[in-house]
Amino acid sequence: MSQHDEPLDSGFIADIPKSRALYERLRQFHWEYYSELAYQRSKIYDSLKSSLREQAERFEFSKWQRAVKYKYALDPLGTSGSLVDPGGRFNIGGIDPARYPVFPALYLASDKGTALAELLGRSTTRDLTPEEVALAKPDSIAAVSASGRLEAVLDVRDGSNLTAFVTLIKGFRLPPALASKASRLGFPLNIVRTVPQLIELLHMSLWRNWPALFDAPAASQIFGRISLDSQVEGILYNSVLTEKPCLAIYHQNFQNSSSYIELDDPVPPGLTVRRLDSSNCK
């Protein structure tokens, strides 16, 4: 080790406790931040649910695609993979189950390239398309075709479907003490005030950074929780990788509905579920 390297190494090691302490302060702040906004949402929760449910419409889809990791190949309509930390864009996985209850979602894409890209194509490689990145990866996967009809789908690409929701939340304010803490930590607070802001948050490409860095759900995951509780059966959105349509389906809400999703092709021996509807949605 040269004399030039030693002070750098020593400085780095000395900073570790400080970095850990800062991380713990940030983690605690995000729990307080989440809790405060959750409290404000709770006071108008029925109105929030109604604002989403009233905008949900019937949606039929044919030969959409679902890609899953190979270990789920005999249960392609299962959702256990969505519960792995941190979950999916519109569902909460095992981030911190004691604080943030987990709930699953089933994800579909309108074409196979998008389904593969959503599962595997999260690389930032500029020379390849998201589909090419996905195909270049060696991971074992299974891709299936599925069709169905949902009675209550919320299209979050259409701002008019979110106007009433934003009207309800845009007045949220943080207590001065919490705002002061955010300022001391150098963390910018961006409470949603407009529909374009919400659409941007729901389609944010780096949504995983929030649960990964702060052990707290991303905004889209919280929105998914409200949508699930409102009896919405699916969220229609665009892939940030291919800009093609995708669906996050809450089959839990099929119980009192005629909604269904089923595989299009003959299934191999051992496959557990070919169709999800009110008879087996739980």
The span from the CA of 253 to the CA of 233, in Å, is 6
Tell me the per-residue pLDDT of 87-104, one tens digit each, with 9 for 90 and over.
999 999 999 999 899 999
Tell me the per-residue pLDDT of 184-193, one tens digit each, with 9 for 90 and over.
888 877 789 9
Tell me the per-residue pLDDT of 208-237, one tens digit each, with 9 for 90 and over.
988 988 889 999 999 999 999 999 999 999
Tell me the per-residue pLDDT of 27-83, one tens digit each, with 9 for 90 and over.
888 889 999 999 999 999 999 999 999 999 999 999 999 999 999 999 999 999 999
> pTM higher than 0.75 for the full model?
yes
Tell me the per-residue pLDDT of 176-185, one tens digit each, with 9 for 90 and over.
999 999 888 8
Is the Cα dihedral 100, 103, 104, 105 positive or negative? negative
- Residue 196: per-residue pLDDT: 97
AA identity, residue 86:
P
Strands (E) in the chain, as ranges, are 57-69, 87-88, 91-92, 106-109, 141-155, 234-238, 245-249, 260-263, 275-276
More confident residue, 65 or 14: 65
SS3 200: helix
- Cis omega (within 30 of 0) for bond into 188: no
- Residue 77: per-residue pLDDT: 96
The span from the CA of 185 to the CA of 29, in Å, is 9
